[in-house]
Amino acid sequence: MDCFAIFFCRSGKIELKAECNKGYVKVKQLGLNPTSVDSAVVGKGNEVKMKPGQHLHVVNQLYPYTVQFKEDLTGNDKRDRRPREPTEEDGEKQKSTLTMKATIHTEKDAVSGSPVEATKTNVSVGHWSQGLKTSMQDPSMQVYKDDRVVVITDKYPKARYHWLVLPWQSIPSLKALREEHCDLLKHMQQVADRMVQQCPDSGSVRFRMGYHAIPSMSHIHLHVISQDFDSPCLKNKKHWNSFTTDYFMPSHDVIRMLETDGRVTVKEGTSELLKLHLRCHVCHREIPTIPALKEHIKSHFSK
């Protein structure tokens, strides 16, 4: 899956996932307002595929939309052949691979002859970092907020509990951190601690808090993740290694580094850690495949 967007119309909420490689858009109705694709009613919580030429109707057929896929001629065209979720760990690669755009057009434009701003939305989000910025503004994603930070649930959780703590202040990456950010990072850590304390399972499951070493996103975020790694979204070696090797930099270490050196440095070769063989994070045994690893992990948590 290449592109992802949540699209809000004035009175309803619809999630659109553009599967650029497959040439359709998945339409999911999140809100109560009636939504249909051609004559098929979607229904709350349901998802249907919408192909170019089909019509999306929002709110009692009041707002018809069509979908168009456009080749982005400005980017290079190295598209990944595998369908993929836009997980942020993949961000680095996606920057170069995301070259398709999906655009939602409203037919109202043609009818009225003038563009209607609220009913014409470019869903060319493309990069999950943009989705992240959208998500942090979305009240339905927010689980905590104060004047400095917001906590959202990870859209593709890699464990039973997986939150992201994000500062409102725009800090593009670990590289951009300076000593003056120490207080903010400590606050992020405190908020993360509180999230864990309030978690009903905090007595039985361990949590880790940290940053991915190589920033693939344009906004720093602290991962708060339970160590059960029990999630269908955890699908590959890259996912696993990004949370269980030194690629995952503990929050306390990042703060300490910032206090002592005034900046955060990432060791050379850190990106190679994502290619390591799979190892259980509890007993460190090497396990050949993700399904075997998931099965193995269960043995640690059922005791």
Residues involved in catalysis? 221
Min dist CB 282 to Zn ion, Å, is: 4
CB of 118 or CB of 283, closer to Zn ion: 283
Taking the complex as a whole, the smallest distance from the CB of residue 129 to Zn ion amounts, in Å, to 10
- The pattern of x and - marking residues 205 through 224 that bind Zn ion according to CB under 5 A reads -------x------------
Count the site residues for Zn ion by CB under 5 A.
4
The residue number with the shortest CB distance to Zn ion is 280
Pair of tokens at residue 163: 């939150």
Segment contacting Zn ion by CB under 5 A, of 15-23, 29-37, 183-191, 204-212: 204-212
Q: Does 282 bind Zn ion (CB under 5 A)?
A: yes
- The least distance separating Zn ion from the CB of residue 283, rounded to whole angstroms, comes to 3
If one asks whether residue 158 binds Zn ion (CB under 5 A), the answer comes out as no
Query: Residue 184: which of 207, 163, 165 has the closest Cα?
Result: 165
Query: Where do we find the tokens 């990072």?
Result: 185
Q: Which helix (H) or strand (E) holds 285?
A: none
- Alpha-helical segments (H) within the chain: 91-97, 107-112, 128-137, 182-198, 237-244, 251-261, 290-301
Q: Which of 236, 280, 290, 294 binds Zn ion (CB under 5 A)?
A: 280
Task: Give the separation between CA 278 and CA 297, rounded to whole angstroms.
Answer: 12
Catalog residues that contact Zn ion under the rule CB under 5 A.
Answer: 212, 280, 282-283
